[in-house]
Structure 1
Amino acid sequence: MLASSVKKASTKSSANGANLTLPEGYDPSEDEEFMNERQLVYFTQALQKWKQGIIEESKETLAHLQDGPIQEADLNDRASSETDWGLELRTRDRQRKLTSKIDAALRRIEEGEYGYCQVTGEPISLDRLKARPIATMTVEAQEAHERNEKISRDQ
């Protein structure tokens, strides 16, 4: 029990990037120990960069939405503008949810649980994590989950 607490504490200090600088062009590989310090720093930085990009986009969206009410005289132009506004609001809501998932992934890194399937406990492939750093399940577990959801919806 104490050993796992120590491991998590050391992961916490290194995952924030304070103790480890990644070499230029570092790319996690299967040849390394899974979720070693370099990989944790790599994914922490990737998640933080992704989150920062979302925050910047949301600021732009909010500034655009605050430009004022839709005032087109033509009904078709007004309907088009309202549709665009609705799309921007839905996009902003998706970004808000994505930010929550990124925060959850960063918490999993700090807790030493990042990169492992929440269903099976197996490691999630590095390729999957690079493509979707917020992934919480292996491809197989995700597919089974989606099949079960589809069966539930169909009933």
Structure 2
Amino acid sequence: MASNVSTNPDQLLTVDELLAMPESDYMNAAQLAFFENRLRELEQEILANAGATTENLRETQFAPDPADRATIEEEHALELRTRDRERKLLKKVQQSLALIESGEYGWCEETGEPIGLKRLLARPTATLSLEAQERREKRQKLYGD
């Protein structure tokens, strides 16, 4: 039976190919390349959004009407909150890229178990397995850590 996984090392896996791989292939070179590409695209998107925000804030026109001015200020505040969240995400993306470089990407930082491809597809910056994340959230809820 022929494998449906791409054999060309220069060609990235598709999501279907990634999910079709056996567990024994977890975090092999092709999978790491797939996630590195996904993380780099996310990094570029965040940086582009930050540049657009800077441009938007520079181009702000003065509005003599207090209601218009309040609306503009509220839009700026919302945009700045969004960029702050993206700044935090950018840091996580860069940490994940460093984990790929060190060979530690895809493994739970708490248990050493695989995080899992589906979880990494949903959240490529995940550093905990689903079980470890749930335990952490329960502890935080109980103890307010």
- 1:52 lines up with 2:44 in the alignment: yes
Secondary structure in structure 1 of the residue aligned to 2:41: helix
- Aligned residues: percent identity? 42
Which residue does the alignment assign to 2:84?
A: 93
- Relative to structure 1, the CA distance from residue 107 to residue 61 in structure 2 (aligned partners, 3 Å threshold; closer, same or farther) is same
Return the offset for 1:109. Answer: 0.6
May I ask how many residue pairs the two structures share in their alignment? 135
CA distance in 2 between counterparts of 1:95 and 1:106 reads 16
Higher relative contact order (CA 8 A, sep 6+): 1
> Quick one: which of 101, 122, 134 aligns to 1:143?
134
How far residue 23 of structure 1 moved from its aligned partner, in angstroms, is 5.0
Q: Structure 1 residue 47: deviation in Å?
A: 0.4
Q: CA deviation at 1:151?
A: 1.8
Deviations 1:113-134 (A, max 9, x none): 0000011110011000011110
1:62 Cα deviation after fit: 0.8
Q: Give the TM-score taking structure 2 as reference length.
A: 0.85
SS of aligned partner of 1:28? helix
Matched, 1:106 2:132: no
In the alignment, structure 1 segments of 5+ residues that lack a partner are 1-18
* Pair 1:20-2:12 in alignment: no
Alignment partners' CA distance in 1, 2:95 and 2:38: 14
Secondary structure of residue in 1 paired with 2:10: coil
Q: Alpha carbon RMSD of aligned pairs, Å?
A: 1.9
Q: Which residue of 2 aligns with 1:34?
A: 26
Q: Which runs of 5+ in 2 are unaligned?
A: 1-7
Q: Is the 8 A contact 1:22 1:42 kept in 2?
A: no
State the secondary structure of the residue aligned to 2:18.
coil
Alpha carbons 2:107, 2:114 under 8 Å: kept: yes
TM-score of the aligned structures, taking structure 1 as reference length: 0.80
* Partner Cα distance (1:152, 1:107) in 2: 31
